[in-house]
């Protein structure tokens, strides 16, 4: 058995002829930058999201940065985000000389704890960046209520949850990333919709704001060599767009495969009392970018990871050091975030991807049970 965290090769093999032919077409056309496929993919992705404007860019980190730039936040403005997230979310805030304001996460769902947001809002607060971590939506209904009340922008970091759905109290549903002012996503190869290099996009609700994001991604110009605002250079390559346009057709199928794998894990791991399997909030679907366990403190996580590794089973820790303990993001506020601190010690993500077989999962769980002497 060759178990991987993500099996990109296995996934490619199944769509090889389509991908190869689309890539070859781009090479034959030599339209490597801003080729027609970029716009075509943006249109198809827009359709997929139910009509959001889609602005493509070079990666998910740029998408967050361009979103913040487009909203014209000023240095010193405060931006609220979860402390349990990938560094990119905080990085772009700090890079633009905005003030990241960390909030702890919900102990069951690992996403920003909405009940702790309002106490951190000050006159300088301008935006909230909820992160749909591991593949399930933040409680967006509460986020939007708070944002409206305090006149804040909402930028959804959807890098891990493309294709997940949020259900509002009235029963209506919206896709992750299409609820706030701007949703940002990443096409990093291992993401749920991954290309064969770097890529990213923004889902923008307002047409004018979408134009502005587009301009910023393109050196602040809408007419060549006429630079109206300060921008950057952030483009999705045509080859990546061609690959993504093929893979987008399979995205729902890919989400389903991940959900099925999660169900198999849930069943196989259900009787191990030292391990907590992921919980899904009633308001969200889960697209399982990660399948993340919480181990109880009787388990030595290091030893368990080593044992699994010796048996050919990879596992990962997302994330081992909370942002407020990172050298670059430490503040003198001396804050503590008990849930995030606990998660950094006890989480463990198991392999999950579109090609994972139940035989592989049975093997993985049998080794976990062997380690725990079940
Ligand atoms: C992957 C990721 C990003 C950054 O995406 P890149 O394309 O690697 O720049 C941002 N936020 C979260 C939560 C991510 O998982």
CATH classification of the domain holding 367: 3.90.1150.10
Does some domain include residue 2? no
If asked whether residues 281 and 154 sit together in one domain, one would say no
pLDDT at 74 > cutoff 90? yes
Does some domain include residue 344? yes
If asked whether residues 45 and 109 sit together in one domain, one would say yes
User: How far, in Å, is the centroid of ligand 1 from the Cα of 60?
Assistant: 5
Does some domain include residue 82? yes
How far is CA 366 from each of CA 199, 270, 362, 374, rounded to the nearest angstrom? 37, 13, 6, 9
| Cα gap 216→92, rounded to integer Å | 15
Query: Which pLDDT does position 333 carry in this prediction?
Result: 84
Please name the residue whose Cα sits nearest to atom 3 of ligand 1: 60
Does some domain include residue 149? yes
**Residue 26 sits in a domain of what CATH number?**
3.40.640.10
If asked whether residues 315 and 234 sit together in one domain, one would say no
Residue 318 lies in domain = 251-372
User: How far, in Å, is the centroid of ligand 1 from the Cα of 197?
Assistant: 13
If asked whether residues 242 and 330 sit together in one domain, one would say no
34 three-state secondary structure: coil
Residue 2 · residue 10 · CB < 8 Å: no
If asked whether residues 199 and 341 sit together in one domain, one would say no
| Cα gap 26→115, rounded to integer Å | 49
pLDDT tens profile 94-138: 999 999 999 999 999 999 999 999 999 999 999 999 999 999 999
| Cα gap 9→24, rounded to integer Å | 19
Query: Which pLDDT does position 109 carry in this prediction?
Result: 97
Determine the residue of 63, 66, 68, 88 to mutate for testing ligand 1's pocket, defined as the one with the most ligand atoms within 8 A of the Cβ atom.
88
When divided into structural domains, the chain yields a total of 2
Please name the residue whose Cα sits nearest to atom 2 of ligand 1: 159
pLDDT tens profile 284-332: 999 999 999 999 999 999 999 999 999 999 999 999 999 999 999 988 7
Q: How many residues does the chain have?
A: 374
If asked whether residues 130 and 14 sit together in one domain, one would say yes
| Cα gap 132→105, rounded to integer Å | 11
Determine the residue of 56, 61, 131 to mutate for testing ligand 1's pocket, defined as the one with the most ligand atoms within 8 A of the Cβ atom.
61
| Cα gap 77→70, rounded to integer Å | 14
Please name the residue whose Cα sits nearest to atom 14 of ligand 1: 159
Helix axes 251-269, 358-371, angle to 10 degrees: 30
User: How far, in Å, is the centroid of ligand 1 from the Cα of 92?
Assistant: 11
> Phi then psi for 57, rounded to 5 degrees?
-155, -170
Does some domain include residue 3? no
The b/e string for 87-117 (b: 16+ C-beta within 10 A; e otherwise) is ebbbbbbeebebbbbbbbbbeebbbbbbebb
If asked whether residues 43 and 116 sit together in one domain, one would say yes
* Last residue in a domain, options 226, 248, 270: 248
Residue 154, number of CB atoms within 10 A of its CB: 23
| Cα gap 235→59, rounded to integer Å | 8
User: How far, in Å, is the centroid of ligand 1 from the Cα of 153?
Assistant: 20
- Look at the block and give the residue holding tokens 């027609």: 36
pLDDT tens profile 354-370: 999 999 999 999 999 99
Residue 207 · residue 181 · CB < 8 Å: no
Residue 319 · residue 86 · CB < 8 Å: yes
| Cα gap 223→356, rounded to integer Å | 47
Asked if the bond preceding 95 is cis, omega within 30° of 0, the reply is no
pLDDT tens profile 195-216: 999 999 999 999 999 999 999 9
User: How far, in Å, is the centroid of ligand 1 from the Cα of 186?
Assistant: 6
If asked whether residues 241 and 121 sit together in one domain, one would say yes
- What's the predicted TM-score (pTM) here? 0.97
pLDDT tens profile 234-256: 999 999 999 999 999 999 999 99
* Last residue in a domain, options 248, 270, 292: 248
Please name the residue whose Cα sits nearest to atom 5 of ligand 1: 60
Does some domain include residue 1? no
Does some domain include residue 27? yes
Determine the residue of 60, 156, 183 to mutate for testing ligand 1's pocket, defined as the one with the most ligand atoms within 8 A of the Cβ atom.
60
The radius of gyration computed from the CA coordinates of the chain, to the nearest angstrom, equals 21
Query: Which pLDDT does position 250 carry in this prediction?
Result: 98
Q: Which atom of ligand 1 is nearest to the CA of 62?
A: 9
pLDDT tens profile 136-178: 999 999 999 999 999 999 999 999 999 999 999 999 999 999 9
pLDDT tens profile 6-44: 999 999 999 999 999 999 999 999 999 999 999 999 999
Q: Which atom of ligand 1 is nearest to the CA of 88?
A: 10
Query: Which pLDDT does position 330 carry in this prediction?
Result: 87
If asked whether residues 183 and 302 sit together in one domain, one would say no
> Phi then psi for 125, rounded to 5 degrees?
-70, 130
If asked whether residues 171 and 204 sit together in one domain, one would say yes
Q: Which atom of ligand 1 is nearest to the CA of 160?
A: 15
What are 32's two structure tokens? 């490597």
Question: Which has the closest alpha carbon to 155: 195, 205, 111?
Answer: 205
Does some domain include residue 340? yes
**Which uninterrupted H or E stretch holds 238?**
helix 238-248
User: How far, in Å, is the centroid of ligand 1 from the Cα of 185?
Assistant: 7
If asked whether residues 96 and 181 sit together in one domain, one would say yes
User: How far, in Å, is the centroid of ligand 1 from the Cα of 294?
Assistant: 22
- pLDDT bin (cut points 50, 70, 90) of residue 49 is very high
Residue 40, number of CB atoms within 10 A of its CB: 14
pLDDT tens profile 317-326: 999 999 999 9
If asked whether residues 239 and 262 sit together in one domain, one would say no
Q: Which atom of ligand 1 is nearest to the CA of 59?
A: 7
The percent of residues above 70 in pLDDT, for the chain, comes to: 100
Cβ < 6 A, ligand 1 pocket: 59-61, 85-86, 88-89, 131, 157, 159-160, 186, 188, 198, 200
* Last residue in a domain, options 227, 248, 269: 248
Mean pLDDT of 67-91: 97
> Phi then psi for 31, rounded to 5 degrees?
-85, 70
User: How far, in Å, is the centroid of ligand 1 from the Cα of 360?
Assistant: 28
Q: Which atom of ligand 1 is nearest to the CA of 187?
A: 7
Residue 277 · residue 270 · CB < 8 Å: yes
Query: Which pLDDT does position 81 carry in this prediction?
Result: 98
pLDDT at 334 > cutoff 90? no
Q: Which atom of ligand 1 is nearest to the CA of 85?
A: 13
pLDDT at 184 > cutoff 90? yes
Looking at every residue in the chain, the average pLDDT score rounds to 97
């Amino acid at each position: 058995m060759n178990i991987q965290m993500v099996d990109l090769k296995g996934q490619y093999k199944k769509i090889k002829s389509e991908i190869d032919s689309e890539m070859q077409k781009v090479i034959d056309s030599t339209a490597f930058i801003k080729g027609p496929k970029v716009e075509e993919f943006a249109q198809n992705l827009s359709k997929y999201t139910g009509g959001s404007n889609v602005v493509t860019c070079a990666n998910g980190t740029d998408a967050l940065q361009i979103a913040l730039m487009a909203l014209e936040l000023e240095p010193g403005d405060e931006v609220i985000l979860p402390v349990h997230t990938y560094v990119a979310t905080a990085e772009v805030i700090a890079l633009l000389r905005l003030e990241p304001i960390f909030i702890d996460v919900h102990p069951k769902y690992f996403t920003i704890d909405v009940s702790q947001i309002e106490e951190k809002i000050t006159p300088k607060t301008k935006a909230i960046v909820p992160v749909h971590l591991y593949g399930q939506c933040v409680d967006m209904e509460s986020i939007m209520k708070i944002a409206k009340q305090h006149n804040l922008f909402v930028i959804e970091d959807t890098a891990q949850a493309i294709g997940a759905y949020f259900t509002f109290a009235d029963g209506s549903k919206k896709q992750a990333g299409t609820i706030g002012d701007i949703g940002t996503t990443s096409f990093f190869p291992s993401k749920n919709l991954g290309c064969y290099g770097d890529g990213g996009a923004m889902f923008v609700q307002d047409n004018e704001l979408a134009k502005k994001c587009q301009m910023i991604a393109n050196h602040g110009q809408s007419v060549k060599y006429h630079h109206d605002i300060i921008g950057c250079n952030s483009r999705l390559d045509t080859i990546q767009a061609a690959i993504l346009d093929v893979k987008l057709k399979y995205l729902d199928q890919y989400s389903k495969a991940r959900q099925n794998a999660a169900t198999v894990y849930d069943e196989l791991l259900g009787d191990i009392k030292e391990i907590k399997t992921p919980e899904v909030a009633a308001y969200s679907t889960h697209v399982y970018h990660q399948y993340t366990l919480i181990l109880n403190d009787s388990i030595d996580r290091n030893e368990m990871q080593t044992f699994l590794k010796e048996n050919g089973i990879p596992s990962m820790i997302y994330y081992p050091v909370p942002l407020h303990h990172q050298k670059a993001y430490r503040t003198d506020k001396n804050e503590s975030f008990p849930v995030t601190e606990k998660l950094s010690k006890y989480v463990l993500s198991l392999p999950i991807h579109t090609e994972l077989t139940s035989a592989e999962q049975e093997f993985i769980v049998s080794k976990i049970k062997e380690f725990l002497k079940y």
